[in-house]
């Protein structure tokens, strides 16, 4: 079987993302320090995010609303309008920061284009993801861009049908075991896990126990060689 479709995650696979969310979270914890220690505030924020994901989805806007809700929960009547303004400013910084590509990404995409069609598969706010892709300068490298509300096995099954490939002719690469690796494998594709420091706890999941269609890579630059091995097998 030959790989014909190469699906790539965006945030923390092509460019830095979580470092900005972590900075916003640290700013919130500092604001909340007079009301709650970090070991209380951080779990409260994580629980609030989990509750709100089905309502707001993924991305900076939903995260900002969760920060405000957490502040209301922990500060109560002592929450000042200026603190809300500061939280909103931290949220806006998530929407306005420059896109910082990982080293060598442009060359890696060029190498991958020799191995199959490239499709960007990312989740989150449509407007923000489109803006980041435009700012990255990478948009013309992809045969397709799929911005989805979540990544599930059904998401990938529909994607493979849309691009007219069998699941075994596709590989998905990304930094999330939960969103990139496991659903792609469940849909019958190959998967490459490219872990990054500072990953969001929500994206953690156990690796597949038994799968000959899964590999962990030190960087995305190793993906062309992995595809070569798959094609020879």
Asked if residue 175 and residue 86 are part of one domain, the reply reads no
What CATH number should be reported for the domain holding residue 44? 1.10.150.240
Asked if residue 175 and residue 87 are part of one domain, the reply reads no
Given this model, what pLDDT does residue 123 score?
93
Q: Which range marks the domain in which residue 212 is found?
A: 5-16+100-232
Q: Which among 80, 96, 112 is the end of a domain? A: 96
Asked if residue 32 and residue 123 are part of one domain, the reply reads no
Query: Which residues lie below 8 Å from residue 137, measured CB to CB, with a gap of 6+?
Result: 106
d(CA 24, CA 63): 10
Asked if residue 92 and residue 12 are part of one domain, the reply reads no
What CATH number should be reported for the domain holding residue 188? 3.40.50.1000
Rounded to the nearest integer, the mean pLDDT of the chain is: 94
- For the ranges 21-35, 111-125, 194-208, 209-223, the lowest mean pLDDT is seen at 194-208
Asked if residue 109 and residue 55 are part of one domain, the reply reads no
Instruction: Indicate whether this model's pTM tops 0.85.
Output: yes
Q: Which among 78, 96, 114 is the end of a domain? A: 96
Nearest CA to 91 out of 76, 71, 120 is that of 71
Query: Which residues lie below 8 Å from residue 231, measured CB to CB, with a gap of 6+?
Result: 1, 2, 3
Asked if residue 181 and residue 141 are part of one domain, the reply reads yes
Number of domains in the chain: 2
Q: Which among 96, 112, 146 is the end of a domain? A: 96
Nearest CA to 185 out of 171, 198, 166 is that of 171
Q: Are 173 and 13 in contact (CB under 8 A)?
A: yes
Given this model, what pLDDT does residue 210 score?
66
Asked if residue 83 and residue 106 are part of one domain, the reply reads no
pLDDT tens figures, 130-163: 999 999 999 999 999 999 989 999 999 999 999 9
Asked if residue 22 and residue 9 are part of one domain, the reply reads no
Tell me what the mean pLDDT of segment 47-60 comes to. Answer: 93
Give the pairing type, strands 117-123 and 5-8: parallel
Q: Are 187 and 160 in contact (CB under 8 A)?
A: yes
Asked if residue 9 and residue 75 are part of one domain, the reply reads no
d(CA 101, CA 117): 21
Asked if residue 111 and residue 63 are part of one domain, the reply reads no
Which pLDDT band holds residue 1 (cuts at 50, 70, 90)?
confident
Asked if residue 128 and residue 157 are part of one domain, the reply reads yes
Asked if residue 109 and residue 47 are part of one domain, the reply reads no
Query: Which residues lie below 8 Å from residue 210, measured CB to CB, with a gap of 6+?
Result: none
């Amino acid at each position: 079987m030959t790989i014909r479709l190469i699906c790539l995650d965006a945030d923390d696979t092509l460019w830095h993302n979580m470092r900005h969310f972590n900075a916003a979270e640290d700013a919130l914890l500092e604001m909340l320090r007079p009301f709650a220690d970090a070991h209380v505030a951080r779990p409260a924020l994580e629980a609030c995010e989990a509750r709100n994901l089905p309502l707001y989805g993924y991305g900076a806007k939903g995260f900002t609303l969760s920060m405000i809700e957490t502040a209301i929960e922990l500060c109560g009547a002592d929450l000042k309008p200026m603190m809300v303004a500061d939280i909103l400013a931290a949220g806006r910084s998530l929407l306005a920061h420059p896109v910082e590509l990982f080293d060598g990404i442009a060359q890696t995409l060029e190498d991958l284009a020799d191995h199959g069609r490239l499709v960007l598969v990312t989740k989150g706010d449509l407007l923000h993801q489109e803006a980041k892709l435009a700012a990255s300068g990478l948009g013309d490298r992809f045969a397709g861009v799929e911005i989805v509300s979540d990544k599930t096995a059904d998401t990938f099954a529909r994607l493979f049908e849309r691009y007219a490939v069998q699941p075994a002719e596709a590989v998905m690469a990304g930094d999330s075991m939960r969103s990139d690796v496991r659903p792609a494998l469940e849909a019958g594709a190959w998967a490459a896990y490219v872990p990054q420091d500072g990953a969001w706890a929500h994206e953690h999941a156990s690796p597949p126990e038994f799968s000959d269609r899964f590999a962990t890579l030190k960087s995305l630059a190793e993906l062309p060689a992995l595809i070569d091995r798959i094609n020879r097998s």
